[in-house]
Amino acid sequence: MSDPSDDLRAFLTSVHPYNALPGDVLDGLLSAFRAQDYAGGEAIYTFGEPLAGLYLIREGAVEITDERGNTVSLLSARNTFGERGLTRDGLAATTAHASADTRLLVLPRADFLRLIETQEVAARFFDRSRPAKAQRDDLANSRIDALMSREPLTCGPDTPVQQAAQQMRDRHVSSICVTDGTRLLGILTLRDLGSKVLAEALAPDTPVRRVMTENPLSLPPDALGSDVLHTMMEHRIGHIPVTEGGALRGIVTQTDLTRFQALSSGHLIHDIAKASDVESMAAATAQIPTLLVQLTAAGTRHEVTTRLITDIADAVTRRLLTLAEEKLGPPPVRYLWLACGSQGRQEQTGVSDQDNCLMLDDTVTPDQMPYFHDLARIVSDGLHACGYVYCPGDMMATNPRWCQPLRVWRSYFNKWIRTPNPEAQMLASVMFDLRPIGGDATLFDGLHSDTLALASRNSIFVAHMVSNALKHTPPLGLLRGIATIRSGEHKNTLDLKHNGVVPVTDLARIYALQGRLTPVNTRARIRAALEAQLLSPSGGQDLLDAYDVIAEARLDHQCTRIKAGEKPDNFLAPTALSDFERSHLRNAFVVVKALQASLGQGRGTLS
């Protein structure tokens, strides 16, 4: 089976690295690729079997799982898979099946190996020492300031070419920008050194001004990835300086584009799933800030971005549990590791601590408890090393209070509901966001729904929970203008966590409690409350829109700090926003405040 060559050519030229291949090489691939159709659910290959070749998704969707059946990637059109096995022994390193009706293009192994041996752009792309590519559209739609290197190598125009070459060697880069102060004068590349210096036998002390490309093509910081791609292709160049008012701000190279395309949550999870130690996992999670910037720059919705970021934390936790069992031996009884807080709600951003606990089978004996204390310490320490810092409130499985048999957990919830003192309200709020991560999930069966039913029937407990939920208020001052923090380290900023997303999270939790709604994610809870008519259609949609505005402002702020080389936080200065942005944010706070007032008055709806 084959695709018409014209259609296949058009498709391949929309996919990297094929769009960067010489015309004659691409022509050769047209006859080599073979189309293969799979029905949804049908196996493509299984772990350990010989691979037919390199797989490129023409249309449809494919799920990739490891040898234990854990999902490591969910792929769609223009994604490639199978290359890792092809470059080793030709055997599948994963299992793949079509998750929808799918058409694949298969490039036989011999043709694939010949391609990466003869074409550098293909070899770089399929180099599995780096993560695999994300969807091309993400790159095309991203701003150039999310792609560029912010500290390009520079030299003066009178620098000897030998010294410039040594600087490039030492920095492991392929170009150097020639500047006068911050003003860009030209650029010198490895190609220039070969064709203009070595080929012409110029002296080592030749000044770079004689061989540089003067007034090179450049782009502004607000250009898109598509502008970079088009410029590189049209002018056949691999380096584009980024300038603003003539001043050099950065540089984008083909390597930057490859690196950007290579980063995805799926491949980070793949790297984590095969990691043999904490250091390898930490190397993967260190890329989360870059991934966050990439996702936001591509216009990914906040709830998708935070879900993808949380999936990485889940994968780290499960891998640490596996490593802990390998060290300690099989667990003496069934256990379940659960996350609460933002990980439990699948809402992690670039700033996350750890909130977790352990539920144990009721048959556990006192002499078996040290095993689980050791397991908790291994996992918690590993999470901390991977950037998920210890919980300041000690809400972790390492705390014996939160490492208990199931019967104790049931008694906890029953006591909190019967006696809703301030501590009980706080703990119940945290524990209502529990989500199973690793272990035997059947231990959690029924506990969540039973607790919701018990709590919703206790009107005194619900009233206390409502009162507790109203303690976090949006930052509105007189006449509902935006009010900033008045003193301290974060003076004149807004806390977009505690006064932004947390009030919405608290509202959604109350709606879930009132309606016995099982979702844990904030947005899913609001939607479920709408369907259960706990919120009026207009009030519910307003709350969803308000939450989106606040959550996206929070992610945008974190990305701004990451791109500036700073650690992400939740403190936004309103002066950094345009009048339009401030207006929308203020309106969002007003919606949340109105719903809080409605809930506090016992109405629970907003028409």
pLDDT > 70 in the chain, percent: 92
CA distances from 121 to 21, 127, 128, 141, 481 (A): 8, 10, 14, 22, 54
DSSP category for residue 99:
S
SS (H, E, C) 440-485: CHHHHCCHHHHHHHHHHCCHHHHHHHHHHHCCCCCCECHHHCECCC
Total residue count of the chain as it appears in this document: 607
Q: What is the mean pLDDT of the chain?
A: 87
pLDDT, one tens digit per residue, over 478-524 is: 555 788 999 999 999 999 999 999 999 999 999 999 899 989 999 99
Cβ atoms within 10 A of the Cβ of 5, count? 12
Lookup: tokens for 351: 């700033």
Lookup: tokens for 79: 């994604």
**249: closest CA among 179, 156, 163?**
179
Reported as a pLDDT band with limits 50, 70 and 90, residue 344 is very high
Lookup: tokens for 413: 């919830």
| Whether pTM exceeds 0.85 | no
Q: How far is CA 346 from the centre of its chain?
A: 12
Q: Is 549 exposed, middle or buried (0-12, 13-18, 19+ CB in 10 A)?
A: buried
Question: E-strand spans in 46-94?
Answer: 53-59, 61-65, 71-76, 80-81
pLDDT, one tens digit per residue, over 322-339 is: 999 999 999 999 999 999
For residues 373-389, average pLDDT: 97
Tell me how far apart the alpha carbons of residues 107 and 113 are, in angstroms, rounded to a whole number.
10
**257: closest CA among 416, 149, 340, 155?**
149
pLDDT > 90 in the chain, percent: 51
- The residues facing 369 across adjacent strands are none
pLDDT, one tens digit per residue, over 266-319 is: 778 888 988 999 999 999 999 999 899 888 877 788 998 999 899 899 999 999
pLDDT score, position 70: 46
H or E stretch including 570? none
pLDDT score, position 136: 38
In the chain, what are the domains? 5-127 (2.60.120.10), 144-260 (3.10.580.10), 263-465 (3.30.460.10), 470-600 (1.20.120)
pLDDT score, position 267: 78
Q: How far is CA 508 from the centre of its chain?
A: 24
Q: How does 402-418 read in b/e, with b if 16+ C-beta sit within 10 Å? A: bbbbbeebbebbeebbe
